[in-house]
Amino acid sequence: MNFEQLFQYVVSDTVGAGGSLAAFRPELALCATIIALLVAKVVLPGWKSSAYHVVLIGLGAACFFAFPWEWLQLRIPGASDYPTARAIFTGVLVADHFTVVLRGILLGFAVLFATFTQMTGVWDRDEQTDFFVLMLGSLLGMCLMISANHILIVMLGVEMASVPCYVMTGMKKDQPRASEAALKYAVFGAGAAGIMLFGLSLLAGALGSAHLPTMTARLVQIVHGGAATEQYAALILGGLMLTVGVGFKLSAVPFHFWAPDVFEGATAEVAAFISIASKAAALGLLVRLAAAFSMPSGMAPLPMDQIASFAAVGCLAGARDFIVTVISALAAVTCTFGNLAAYGQTNMKRLLAYSTIAHAGYMMMGVAAAAALVGRDVPGAKYAVAAVLIYIGIYLFMNLAAFAITAFLRNATGSEEIADYAGLGRRSPGLTVCMAIAMFSLVGLPPLAGFLGKLTVFLALVDARLWALLFIGVLNTLLSLFYYLRVVKVMVVSPEPLHREAPTIPLTSSVGFYCVLLTAPLVALFFLLHGMMEWAGAATMSLFN
């Protein structure tokens, strides 16, 4: 293949009929918005105040391109008419149902989030444009993470998502804690990224490729051919090092040390972004990696019939066991540690940081179940991933609600200490009810949507027969009750201090309305499990094929 042929190939692959760019339009919309913001900042200095509107337009365009309109016309069960998994950009990214749905969740979150920062007014006008640019950049990285099909994209996506977060954490210049948190986050992130890069290069070296499906196919061949011990050692080491990188993004214990400090140092808005979007993207990446290494995919340019037959006789069983063991262990430790550490917290953001850690644990349990099931029950594995997606979708609302109320209360009282919430139940009953709904949904009490997230994940664990993990998950639900309940207890039961009054925030204000907007779905979604299941089920159609 000479250069011209190669060039022609790349061109047609990218912009030709049904080319890669068509599937990449949402990301392009994000890029365009970023550029528009940056250019406008230079060209029209007086224009800054409408940065939010530009972001909304950009996100709206991205949502328009990302949203599976075709599916809506077909009703969800008919989503099989939608083109299934398709490698784009010569195979580095994969555009499939999973990408579409998870990207939809991320973009939808971004819209809510941009509105949230606009409402709290935490940044002054200058900062706000910068903040939006960083946020959109991070979002772009997250979109890459969830559609990664190549280890370069894994690395690129993780870094693109992380670096803007470091900056956002430290953006409040007048707060030393914020700078400290940003530095800690950056150092930790750099370390984790370095280790992950090392692990990825080990894997790529041992398997002779950087394309995930090809790597899996090679893995099957190597195992079938009887690999040397050193090869296994390199693979296991590579796998573990990769886990460090993903574990850092997930704030999985023991790679979580940055989380509480960053959450406390950063503003509640940034903490919400890290806690929700970053987590969702990291889970998407984890699902991608777990799926890639536990099942050979048809996308590898190798004789697949033979590889499929090798895989069928258990050549990937070792890899699956490894994935299940590592993710289960991390999930169990993360969940338990997060919940236990949250007990002693007096700062709301720190409490939510540990709560985030704990929830990452629950969600990872679903991924472990998927990896455990893929060998014997592919529909079961798909269901497990669907459970994780449902969890992410619900988690978005409950955690954003918790952070939003924290931020609004900070604006009203200047404090983020839980003890200072005393008396709110009397002064702002509506807001207290919203907070209570968010907290009890995080515990997982019916009839709130948080229960469904746990229910579906636990059901996947039953299916996968991971009893120990199920027991730990259930026990953790119990553990978590205490500290979530304490927040509500302080608001409702504790006496109001004499020296100051709790703020009055009626639900009819715009702030109150936003809180209702976030908490109403927590009640409504509980009755819409079937619809969520259809969406999540459609999202997993192209996985494990």
Q: With beta carbons less than 8 A apart as the criterion, state whether 53 and 512 touch.
A: no
Residues 6+ apart with CB under 8 A from 470: 458, 461, 462
How far is residue 205 from each of residues 148, 166, 241, 244, measured CA to CA in Å?
19, 31, 14, 19
Give me 288's structure tokens.
């991608």
Residues 6+ apart with CB under 8 A from 5: none
Q: Of the candidates 152, 333, 378, 481, which one interacts with other proteins according to CB under 8 A?
A: 481
- Going by C-alpha positions, the residue among 528, 356, 359 that lies closest to residue 452 is 528
458 binds other proteins (CB under 8 A): yes
**Least Å from the CB of residue 471 to other proteins:** 7
340 binds other proteins (CB under 8 A): no
76 binds other proteins (CB under 8 A): no
Cα gap 438→396, rounded to integer Å: 11
Measured from the CB atom, the residue of 160 and 464 that comes closer to other proteins is 464
Q: Given CA atoms 191, 197, 202, 207 in this order, what sign does their dihedral have?
A: positive
Three-state SS for 122? coil
Q: With beta carbons less than 8 A apart as the criterion, state whether 55 and 136 touch.
A: yes
Query: Which of these ranges, 192-200, 249-257, 320-328, 466-474, lies near other proteins under the rule CB under 8 A?
Result: 466-474
Measured from the CB atom, the residue of 39 and 478 that comes closer to other proteins is 478
470 binds other proteins (CB under 8 A): yes
529 binds other proteins (CB under 8 A): yes
534 binds other proteins (CB under 8 A): yes
513 binds other proteins (CB under 8 A): no
Measure CA 269 to chain center: 16
378 binds other proteins (CB under 8 A): no
**Least Å from the CB of residue 98 to other proteins:** 18
Query: Which of these ranges, 2-10, 330-338, 356-364, 441-449, lies near other proteins under the rule CB under 8 A?
Result: 441-449
Size of the site for other proteins (CB under 8 A): 30
Measured from the CB atom, the residue of 39 and 474 that comes closer to other proteins is 474
57 binds other proteins (CB under 8 A): no
Query: Which of these ranges, 198-206, 270-278, 297-305, 463-471, lies near other proteins under the rule CB under 8 A?
Result: 463-471
533 binds other proteins (CB under 8 A): yes
Measured from the CB atom, the residue of 268 and 431 that comes closer to other proteins is 431
- Going by C-alpha positions, the residue among 303, 153, 154 that lies closest to residue 220 is 303
Q: Of the candidates 83, 205, 379, 447, which one interacts with other proteins according to CB under 8 A?
A: 447
The shares of helix, strand and coil residues in the chain, as percent rounded to the nearest 5, are 80, 0, 20
Query: Which of these ranges, 53-61, 305-313, 354-362, 472-480, lies near other proteins under the rule CB under 8 A?
Result: 472-480
Measured from the CB atom, the residue of 116 and 451 that comes closer to other proteins is 451
Measured from the CB atom, the residue of 299 and 401 that comes closer to other proteins is 401
For residue 467, report the phi and psi dihedrals to the nearest 5 degrees.
-65, -40
463 binds other proteins (CB under 8 A): yes
Element (DSSP H or E) covering residue 306: helix 304-310
Measured from the CB atom, the residue of 69 and 482 that comes closer to other proteins is 482
For residue 88, report the phi and psi dihedrals to the nearest 5 degrees.
-120, 165
State the amino acid at position 51 in one-letter form: A
Query: Which of these ranges, 1-9, 165-173, 183-191, 456-464, lies near other proteins under the rule CB under 8 A?
Result: 456-464
Q: Give, as one character, the DSSP assignment of residue 417.
A: B
For residue 86, report the phi and psi dihedrals to the nearest 5 degrees.
-145, 125
499 binds other proteins (CB under 8 A): no
69 binds other proteins (CB under 8 A): no
393 binds other proteins (CB under 8 A): no
471 binds other proteins (CB under 8 A): yes
**Least Å from the CB of residue 370 to other proteins:** 16
Convert 478-535 into a string of H (helix), E (strand) and C (coil).
Answer: HHHHHHHHHHHHHHHCCCCCCCCCCCCCCCCCHHHHHHHHHHHHHHHHHHHHHHHHHH
Cα gap 405→43, rounded to integer Å: 36
Q: Of the candidates 6, 35, 475, 523, which one interacts with other proteins according to CB under 8 A?
A: 475
474 binds other proteins (CB under 8 A): yes
Q: With beta carbons less than 8 A apart as the criterion, state whether 319 and 459 touch.
A: no
Residues that bind other proteins (CB under 8 A): 426, 429, 440, 445-447, 451, 455, 458-459, 462-463, 467, 470-471, 474-475, 477-478, 481-482, 485, 489, 492-493, 529-530, 533-534, 537
